Amino acid sequence: MFYGARLKAMPPKLKSDDGKHVVIRPLAYCAEREIARYARGREFPIIPCNLCGSQETMKRREVKAMLAGWEQQDPGRTDRLFRSLQNVTASHLADRELFDFESLVGADD
């Protein structure tokens, strides 16, 4: 949304564009801080990764900081943002592919 001008997110279960694979995100509904706390408690090893958004220059890090700031200002905001992706009202978005605005007529038409 902030960089690609598209409203989309990866759902907990997603079929690849070619239809050959399904990606499953079993922890999609868990907060990152809860996953990190569990991993520390279980003493899981930390495996270095340069592909997962851990680089300092990644936009992911910038958005994560923005969301943390929002959460500090208004606790629960990030949870509501995530829940909003589960409660979409297509007719209230501006996507002409999802809703035919041109054919709408009012009481005066």
The per-residue pLDDT for range 50-94, each reduced to its tens digit, is 766 566 667 888 888 999 999 999 999 999 998 998 998 888 888
Q: What kind and span of H or E run contains 23?
A: strand 22-24
**Amino acid 15: pLDDT:** 94
Question: Domain boundaries in the chain?
Answer: 13-86
For residues 69 and 97, give the distance between their C-alpha atoms in angstroms, rounded to a whole number.
34
**pTM to 2 decimal places:** 0.67
**Amino acid 100: pLDDT:** 86
**DSSP structure string for 28-63:** TTS-HHHHHHHHHHHTPPPPP-SSSS-STT-HHHHH
The token pair at 17 is 């564009």
Max mean pLDDT among 1-10, 35-44, 99-108 falls in 35-44
